[in-house]
Structures are given as C-alpha cells and as structure tokens.
Amino acid sequence: MRALTILLLTVLAACQSQPLRLERPQQELFAARKSDDDARTAEFNFWMNKLLVYASEKVRNTPKDAGPPTIDVLVISGGGDWGAFGAGVLKGWGSVKGELARPKFDIVTGVSTGAMIAPFAFIGDDDAIERIVQLYRNPKPDWIKSRGLVFFLPDNPSFYALPGLEREMRTALDRPMLERVVKEGADGRSLLVNTTNIDLGDMHAWDVVAEANTALKAKNEERVYQILLASAGIPAIFPARGIAEHLYVDGAITGNILYGGRVREEDSLGGRWRKAFPRLPLPRLRYWVIFNNQFRFPPQVTRERWPDIMGRAQIMATQTSTLNSMRHLFALAELSKLKYNADVQVRVMSVPESFVPAHPESFNAEVMNTLADIGEQMGANPESWRTDPP
C-alpha cells in the first residue's frame, strides 16, 4: 500500500503542468521574428566590424617580410558525452610544436557539447584545458536524472533533468573563469555559441564574451549558464531554456558546427575585407574543426522497433547535416582562394570510424575516458588532421 501511495504521488506530481506560456497572435509572432532578424543582423554587423578591426591590426602590426598574419578559428561540434573526445584533442594538441601547434585562437565557436568546451578552449592555457578534460573524465550519476516512471507525460518539460551537469558546469566555469573569458576577449577575440530559438524557428548565435561581461557587471552569471545549457539542450530529452521572452534548445538542430555558412559571399570576411582594406593583404585563415563524432557510424543490425529505428535515424540525420556543413566549409575555402586569392585552410579531426563504445548508455565513465584517451593521442599527432572534405 505504501509503495502504491508513493507511485500515485509521483504520478500526480509529474502531471502538474508547467507554467503556461501565453499564446500570441500569429501576426505578433511574425513581427517578433522580424524584430529578432533585425537584431541578429545588427549583432552580426557589429561583430564583423570588430573582426575586421582586429584582423587589420594584426596585419598592420606584422612585419612585411613576415607575410600575412594568421586568423585561427576553432570550430567545436556537438556530440553529447562524446565531447570527451574534443576535450582530449585540445589537451593532446598542447604538446605539438611547430606550424601545427595549438594556437591562441582568434575565434572559438561551439555547439551543444562544443559550447560547453568552447570557453575553456578560448581561455586556452593548459590549466583551463585540463579543467574541461577532468569534467568529461569524471561524469557523476546525477548528471542526468530521469523524471520518474512517467517521464513521458506531455506536461513534463523533458525526459531528464540535469541537476548534476548544471552543478558541475557552474563549478568549472565559475566567476573567476568568466572573468578570464572577458579578459581574453578584450582585444577583439571572439567566443560564439549556437542555440536554436524554438519559438521563432531559427538559429541564434551568442557572443559569450559580451554576455559574460554584462553578467559580471550585474553580478548575475545565470544567463550565461542558461545560454550554454540551451546550446546542449537536446529537444525533449533535456530541458529547453527560457531566455528573455523565447525558448531555446540544442544549437545542433539548426547547425551542429558554427562556421559562418549562412553569410552571403559579399558579407564574408574576404568580401568585406576587399571593400574596407583594398590595399592590405588578406590574413591567412585557418579553420580547425573538432568533430565530436564519426564520419560514418559502425554498421549494426537495427532491431525492428520504433525506438531503435528512430534513435539511429535521428543521430544519422544530425551527422549527415554536419558532414554537409563541413563540405560547405571546404567549398567556401576554395571560393575564397579563387575569388580573393586568399590563403584559407580547413582541417578536421573526428572520432575514428573503428571506435565502438563498450557500453551503450550515455555519460558512461569508461566510454568517456576512452574517448578522452583517443582524443589526446590524436591531438598529439599532427597527422590526425584531415585536410580533404569528408
């Protein structure tokens, strides 16, 4: 009887509705999207102008006989707990010397698990990298927590809550670390993460340096954490995040890598550079893409059950979209070479196709440590970088 009572109380608690979000007329929503589009365009123009100033200063401060300076862009994909691979890559990369040594990145972008890694890569020293590596090497049982026997009820915000993951993230990226993010971005370097505005149906990239600066001044860092958690918020599986008046979910839905693929050619760095600085040489541009996944999944016999079919199909859809984005990035690099005589290089590193997880469940410590080990080994070997499209 006592067990039945507990079960009924659990069901009743789960059936309690979330706070209602008021319906809005369709025309009002279209107007809101137009306003948001205008705001995103203004933000992009501001950011691009900042990048032009930053890059032009690098050119002017570089001796002419040294050749054009380099703009290094780190692009970290989504991949859930497989982000352990990307964290490991960054650590192993720190031991490389010479032309392919881990640089001080001018731009860092991250999506989903990549958004969690990105601030530490942006700070970029060995201590910061070790902090994020240790986070991925030590998953806790409460990182993800089921909402109980009735997790599937539609009034639940998600199947799982993330009490432990939220705690660990706030601990790893505490106020002193956010202060370092702001300090590192003071000279014009950029840290961007992608989310999906599920209300307006579009991507939303956030300037984390600006957000952290505002948060620190207000002595309230919560909005920064919500942005990063939103970027990693797999729809229905993990909670969506309310930021201002909109609801945000996993950035991988609208772009699992953030590389400027939506920018019109004339608004690209090359296009704007030629207009602004026709007599200055274009800086060399190097994209370093860490793909926290495999180019092709290991084959398997999929059981004829809808959860198995849907689960594998959804993962394959995200993976295929990401590969197409990478091919697009390689194509954009070739276009810049042809049109602007630019030196644009793209390198990609991914989990080996031969890797098969020892355990199927997510956030398994053995699997994550194996991925971190693989990442460290590959990161320490410059030959692990792929220079041709997948």
- Buried (b) or exposed (e) across 88-124, using 16+ Cβ within 10 A? bbbbbbbeeeeebebbebbbbbbbbbbbbbbbbbbbb
Residue 59, token pair as written in the block:
């050119």
| Residue of higher predicted confidence among 267 and 17 | 267
75-101 per-position pLDDT tens digit: 999 999 999 999 999 999 999 999 999
pLDDT interval class at 364 (50, 70, 90): very high
Cβ atoms within 10 Å, residue 215:
20
What is the Cα–Cα distance from 48 to 273, expressed in whole angstroms?
A: 10
- Domains observed in the chain: 28-55+67-293+306-384 (3.40.1090.10)
Average pLDDT score over residue span 99-109: 98
Using the predicted structure, report yes or no on whether residue 42 has a pLDDT greater than 60: yes
pLDDT band at residue 210, thresholds of 50, 70 and 90? very high
| DSSP category for residue 298 | P
Q: What number is the average pLDDT over the span 5-17? A: 43
Query: Binning pLDDT at 50, 70 and 90, where does residue 205 land?
Result: very high
Say yes or no to pLDDT of 313 above 50.
Answer: yes
Cα–Cα distance for residue pair 71/345, rounded to 1 Å: 10
- DSSP alpha helices (H): ranges in 248-305? 269-276
154-190 residue pLDDT tens: 778 888 889 999 999 999 999 999 999 999 999 999 9
Q: Give the mean pLDDT of the chain.
A: 91
Of residues 64 and 39, more confidence is placed in 39
Round to whole Å and give the CA distance between 233 and 249. Answer: 5
Residue 68 sits at the vertex; the CA angle it makes with 67 and 69, to the nearest 5 degrees, is 115
Quick one: pLDDT at residue 113? 97
> H helices within 107-162, ranges in order?
113-123, 126-137
